[in-house]
Amino acid sequence: MKRRSFLKGTLATGAAAVAVNAGLLTPSTVLADWNKAAFAAKKTDDALNSVYGSASATASGDVKLKAPAIAENGAVTPVTVDASGMSGVESISIMASKNPMPLVCTYDFASSAIGYVSTRIKMGETMNVIAVVKAGGKLFKAEQEVKVTIGGCGG
Amino acid sequence: MSIKIRMRGKSKGGVAEVKALIKHPMESGARMNKKTGKPYPAKFIDTVKVLVNGTEAVNAQWSGAVSANPYMAVQLKANAGDEVKIVLTDNTGEAGEETLKLK
């Protein structure tokens, strides 16, 4: 099983699946360990398929993506995704469309968390930041272009 | 050596915003060492968990594209006095954790 390879060395994460709402389990959330296929994907659609099993996300105004229009230093681009206006947010992923591996991070939420994430990401060049939110079994997204004056990869 | 985490959190009306600053190089494995022509070996945090009173609330997976010395903020349904814990590991197996009692 594919699962086996993900289990090595991370015994502590075994409890993860327990906390996930049992009715909403998907293969990717059961695999609480690092999703190698998704992070190695070279295209945003492939990454989405690996994480959520689908790449069709609907643009939604309820997904509030906050990122700078111009990032002076691509290595530290602050990004905030606020989906607190939506109910039943299960997961948020952040992608940088032109990075060699677009998927930056994925956050899975239990019912005790609110659909909100703020972090800082690396961006190699001017590109779109895409926030994908899974709520009520459906995918929603928001996109914003960030102009990068100094690249953050390979520097 | 464990990974150092600094965290802060405050609960307001049942919603707590927890912020964390983590000390970590977040080396993606793609950056080249110009002297040797070989890439710096990958070393980045790949799993981050946030627990409220021992129950998992957030389970995050990161790649090497999260900035060095990562900053993270999440919002939780938690009240003052609740215990929030962050547990993380990197791809080399190094781990870190920090606990905070919400104000």
pLDDT value at residue A151: 60
With CB atoms and an 8 Å threshold, state whether B72 touches A117: yes
In the predicted structure, residue A10 carries a pLDDT above the cut 70 = no
Boundaries of domain holding A45: 2-148
In the predicted structure, residue A149 carries a pLDDT above the cut 90 = no
- Distance to chain B for A59, nearest Cα, Å: 23
pLDDT value at residue B103: 84
Q: Is residue A70 part of a domain?
A: yes
Domains annotated for chain B, with CATH where assigned, are 4-31+40-101 (2.60.40.10)
Q: Is residue A99 part of a domain?
A: yes
pLDDT range class, residue A4, cuts 50, 70, 90: low
Picking from B35, B4, B37, the residue whose alpha carbon sits closest to that of residue B21 is: B4
Q: Is residue A110 part of a domain?
A: yes
Q: What is the CATH number of the domain that holds A40?
A: 2.60.40.2470
Could you tell me how many residues make up chain A?
155
Q: Is residue A94 part of a domain?
A: yes
| Sheet containing strand A64-66, strands side by side | A64-66, A77-82, A113-121, B71-77, B15-23, B4-12
With beta carbons under 8 A apart, name residues in chain A contacting B95. 12
The tens place of each residue's pLDDT in chain B, 103 residues long, gives 689 999 999 999 899 999 999 999 999 888 888 888 898 899 999 999 999 999 999 999 999 999 999 999 999 999 999 999 999 999 998 999 999 999 8
With beta carbons under 8 A apart, name residues in chain A contacting B75. 84, 113-114, 116
B49, B88 Cβ separation under 8 angstroms:
yes
Residue B42 touches chain A, beta carbons under 8 Å: no
How does B38-74 read in b/e, with b if 16+ C-beta sit within 10 Å? eeeebbbbbbbbbbbeeebbbbbbbbbbbbbebbbbb
How does A115-154 read in b/e, with b if 16+ C-beta sit within 10 Å? bbbbbbbbbbbebbbbbbbbbeebbbbbbeebebeeebbe
pLDDT value at residue B79: 92
Residue labelled with tokens 């952040």: A94
CA distances from A31 to A2, A27, A28, A58 (A): 10, 6, 5, 25
* Overall average pLDDT of the A30-55 stretch: 83
Residue of chain B nearest A10, judged by CA positions: B93
Residue type, position A86, single letter: M
User: What ipTM was estimated for this complex?
Assistant: 0.91
Q: Which of B61, B67, B74 sits opposite A121 (nearest CB)?
A: B67
Q: Is residue A103 part of a domain?
A: yes
3-state SS assignment for residue B22: strand
DSSP-derived secondary structure for A72-118: S-TTSEEEEEE-TTSSSEEEEEEEETTSSS-EEEEEEE-TTEEEEEE
Burial class (CB in 10 A: 0-12, 13-18, 19+), A74: buried
pLDDT range class, residue A73, cuts 50, 70, 90: confident
- DSSP lists the bridge partners of residue B93 as none
Range with the largest mean pLDDT of A17-31, A117-131, B30-44: A117-131
Q: Is residue A68 part of a domain?
A: yes
Q: How many domains does chain A have?
A: 1
* Overall average pLDDT of the A69-76 stretch: 89
